[in-house]
Structure 1
């Protein structure tokens, strides 16, 4: 019987590969600290069938926890667990989610951005993700993530009500840390995104070579481009044409003799639904390109490690998905970021690269080409700076594993 039990919410193995990178980083680093045979993990999953299909870990169980299941059933049963002690044994047996929380030393909340102004529609989910653990008496550890700002009264009240009850909040950068400090939180630790801890095992390139002709990367630097359906919605909502802008940018690159890697960093296999799924967007972009022969299009779901290895083959990278940016920085690839939140800038600050990010409100093909040209001119300088800063960022990322392991050991001994 395993000695330790860790429940995880807010991440996944399927779909968004940033979420997968955070989850797998936790499993890798905690196995190292607590012993691979000593820990079992329970993942409260939005997409249990898809996550089970992608799960390579025998000691990770996937428990259904769709937003409705989480918000209604799991929260209600966890509340009953708190209010009616005689029913606790029955509730642990009948509800896998409650049973997992009640027997875990910690709940890891791996939501990438929570309790943030402008994302009030996700606020109920942010609360529902941690409330059952409060009911079962399980400490909540918020892995490195963005929180704040807290100007909106609804978000501020919710944050003041629930965040002080969290055991530890790892802030994912200077801006988030300032927001948390300004709210008066004292349970915070400055950190770096958990995905910076993701380890590659050396088999990724061999697996990729069986799917794609990697000679594409010979004979010159390739520009990686990672679009995002989240950014598309924001650009199109203000009357822009995100697909057209991406097509124009890639066509300009290939017309100038460059090769382009077009890849989605969030893919849900077997569906055209666009939530957590950039593949339909990338297919549309690819179909409209003038020189598709100069573009390597990743047309399927890859693992987070395979995506990172593939991104590492690029000379430069243009990212709109947050964790695609994390992967390119992890591989010391000079990166230009089109973002929509402070979460991009604060991570780039760790590398002294914040000048290479701009908001979606500035996105035009001309401006994008101008900024990319600037990055290319300074590519060697930027790469050298990334290589210099990367070890410290990784150490800061891995440090949260030490905090989690200490909490697990302390709770197990109690």
Structure 2
């Protein structure tokens, strides 16, 4: 059985972690399953996941996928190409791509222009847990209703996203609530990362600047450097983890320079290694959503800064919403609180209990997904 995975923006490490979660679960149930995606990124980014190539041969008005039938089978196999007709299940794991911030074209191009055709050809189409909304324009609302009518299941990752969907399409048994599904992936610590050295992990995110969640770049660097300095004043060893690309790396370097003392900076290509490293910290300070998921799902108390509703909903899921901060004073106060041993133990117990519950919810989500896949 071949599964197509949409919305995986390699080399986005959160997206790659979602892909790892999908492959882990599917292969545990269907050991000979194969996976495909459209080749929007360089081949070397995809090959380590064993992804077959689904060549996009369509435009807004025409579908040219029949042209692949002209290729001899030996070339199809040799170059790892998969035909659309051979795909049985389509997973959308976009994370957060459908809402006013992204525009209606993304929803239309990725799903809306094809969902009816997929339904007619008896493909299973499932939107795995992700954030949605808001949806303001009538054009967006119409496109959303079209998608919902043709897909099999949609999982909103948080209560706000769920309500955005229900407000537009009404109560629907296709739409369910389930948290981020990377929580079942076990991290692995790479050999080059020293164990038992660091106390606090800081994960920057340039989107905090791009999405105007902070006043400007300098104020964000000031925030991160102030937190690191507070930690150092308490005798804690801090490292910066670059979760994404060059912009985050530049932020990390500037933050370390602002602190004025040597701060180790790490970057890893494997998202499972990133999760493993995060799990070794005692406290995580993160502006990256999946940095937070990786911390909280492993019972690591965390301080969050964020740029959308998904951060508040995540922190609430783990019972630590008070540690979502929106100012330097609040951030420093939260860190001081977690550095108190008694408070730390209480917060960790809360996170651990909610983590167990959320993992059970993810298992139940996957059971429902495969019940639908195996139906009919």
TM-score range, shorter chain: 0.7 to 0.9
Partner residue of 2:7? Answer: 10
- Which structure exhibits the higher relative contact order, with contacts defined as CA atoms closer than 8 Å and separated by 6 or more residues? 1
Q: TM-score, normalised by structure 2?
A: 0.86
Alignment check: 8 A CA contact 2:36 2:82 kept: no
Kindly indicate which of the two structures has a greater share of residues assigned to helix. Answer: 1
User: Are 1:159 and 2:129 matched, yes or no?
Assistant: no
Deviations 1:59-90 (A, max 9, x none): x32557xxxxx6xx544586356xxxx87845
Alignment check: 8 A CA contact 2:268 2:274 kept: no
Partner residue of 2:284? Answer: 317
Alignment check: 8 A CA contact 1:74 1:132 kept: no
What secondary structure sits across from 2:8 in the alignment? coil
Partner residue of 2:175? Answer: 188
Separation in 1, partners of 2:277, 2:124: 37
Separation in 1, partners of 2:153, 2:290: 22
List gaps (5 residues or longer) in structure 1.
Answer: 65-69
Alignment check: 8 A CA contact 1:329 1:335 kept: yes
12, 23, 30: which is aligned to 1:27?
Answer: 23
Separation in 2, partners of 1:351, 1:237: 24
Partner residue of 1:332? Answer: 299
User: Are 1:253 and 2:231 matched, yes or no?
Assistant: yes
Alignment check: 8 A CA contact 1:77 1:98 kept: no
Alignment check: 8 A CA contact 2:39 2:54 kept: yes
Separation in 1, partners of 2:161, 2:302: 22
List gaps (5 residues or longer) in structure 2.
Answer: none
Partner residue of 2:364? Answer: 399
1:395 deviation in Å? 1.6
What secondary structure sits across from 2:280 in the alignment? coil
Partner residue of 2:197? Answer: 216
154, 160, 164: which is aligned to 1:175?
Answer: 160
Alignment check: 8 A CA contact 1:192 1:397 kept: yes
Partner residue of 1:67? Answer: none
Separation in 1, partners of 2:334, 2:105: 38
User: Cα gap change, 1:87/1:291 in structure 2, threshold over 3 Å: closer, same or farther?
Assistant: closer
User: Cα gap change, 1:234/1:77 in structure 2, threshold over 3 Å: closer, same or farther?
Assistant: closer
Alignment check: 8 A CA contact 2:93 2:127 kept: yes
Separation in 2, partners of 1:76, 1:118: 22
User: Cα gap change, 1:92/1:265 in structure 2, threshold over 3 Å: closer, same or farther?
Assistant: farther
Q: TM-score, normalised by structure 1?
A: 0.79
Separation in 2, partners of 1:159, 1:39: 30
User: Cα gap change, 1:236/1:384 in structure 2, threshold over 3 Å: closer, same or farther?
Assistant: closer
1:345 deviation in Å? 1.8
Alignment check: 8 A CA contact 1:9 1:45 kept: no
1:408 deviation in Å? 3.2
Alignment check: 8 A CA contact 1:262 1:296 kept: yes
Deviations 1:341-361 (A, max 9, x none): 111222222222222223xxx
User: Cα gap change, 1:243/1:77 in structure 2, threshold over 3 Å: closer, same or farther?
Assistant: same
Separation in 2, partners of 1:92, 1:367: 63
Partner residue of 1:343? Answer: 310
Q: CA RMSD in A?
A: 2.9
Separation in 2, partners of 1:302, 1:163: 35
Partner residue of 2:264? Answer: 296
1:49 deviation in Å? 2.6
User: Cα gap change, 1:239/1:154 in structure 2, threshold over 3 Å: closer, same or farther?
Assistant: farther
User: Cα gap change, 1:192/1:237 in structure 2, threshold over 3 Å: closer, same or farther?
Assistant: closer
User: Cα gap change, 1:162/1:392 in structure 2, threshold over 3 Å: closer, same or farther?
Assistant: same
